[in-house]
């Protein structure tokens, strides 16, 4: 990586992905969660749901509402969320702590039902449809893709199974967040820590 710009340093002197240095919340998420493997269906359902909520919003907005979203969606347990109906939707639309988008709330409920129909389970389904060649480590933010052929295929496969709010960009963000791809910058201290 001779001549490549270095990832910026955080307040502790460690080099991190540029996006992680915006706030302490983002840095904590980057350092402790983003890019680590997700193996359970419930954890994968949460990540896909959060990425769906992000559409049109900043990740920081979603991150700061995450605990309230977890509470509202029963810890993102697909079995529980699949049983939600109109009363739960209306309750959530009235809760100022949440992202109050009827379309997104109803999509998460529908996605829970679709997840329960996957014989192999959601985590395995996402991982098997997201395989692709390992890309070179990004040197800068400009080197990080917004979507890839693999994320496009994953989004198509999820939609074919009844999922909503899972376009190629959302699918790729979920792949990054769950360690399917490693998009930490080349000299970020977390690069290669997918486990």
Active site residues: 29, 51, 59
Quote the CA–CA distance of 151 and 92 in Å, as a whole number: 30
What 3-state class would DSSP assign to 171?
A: helix
Element (H, E) at 103: helix 102-116
Place of tokens 């129909």: 117
**Tokens matching residue 68:** 């309230």
95 annotated as belonging to a binding site for a ligand? no
DSSP letters for 74-98? GGG-HHHHTT--HHHHHHHHT-TTS
- Among 107, 116, 75, smallest CA distance to 89 is for 107
Quote the CA–CA distance of 98 and 143 in Å, as a whole number: 33
129 annotated as belonging to a binding site for a ligand? no
Binding residues for Zn(2+): 17, 30, 184, 188
Binding residues: 17, 30, 184, 188
């Amino acid at each position: 990586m001779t001549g490549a710009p270095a990832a910026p340093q955080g307040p502790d002197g460690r080099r991190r992905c540029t996006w992680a240095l915006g706030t302490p919340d983002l840095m904590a998420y980057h350092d402790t969660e983003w890019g680590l493997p997700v193996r359970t269906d419930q954890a994968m359902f949460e990540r896909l749901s959060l990425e769906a909520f992000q559409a049109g919003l900043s990740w920081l907005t979603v991150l700061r509402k995450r605990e309230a979203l977890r509470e509202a969606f029963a810890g993102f347990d697909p079995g529980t969320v699949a049983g939600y109906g109109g009363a739960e939707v209306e309750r959530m639309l009235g809760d100022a702590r949440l992202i109050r988008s009827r379309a997104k709330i109803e999509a998460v409920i529908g996605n829970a039902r679709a997840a329960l129909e996957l014989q192999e389970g959601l985590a395995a389904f996402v991982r098997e449809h997201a395989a692709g060649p390992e890309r070179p480590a990004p040197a800068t933010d400009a080197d990080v893709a917004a979507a890839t052929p693999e994320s496009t295929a994953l989004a198509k496969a999820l939609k074919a199974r009844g999922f909503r709010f899972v376009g190629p960009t959302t699918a790729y963000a979920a792949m990054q967040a769950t360690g399917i791809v490693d998009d930490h910058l080349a000299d970020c201290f977390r690069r290669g820590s997918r486990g």
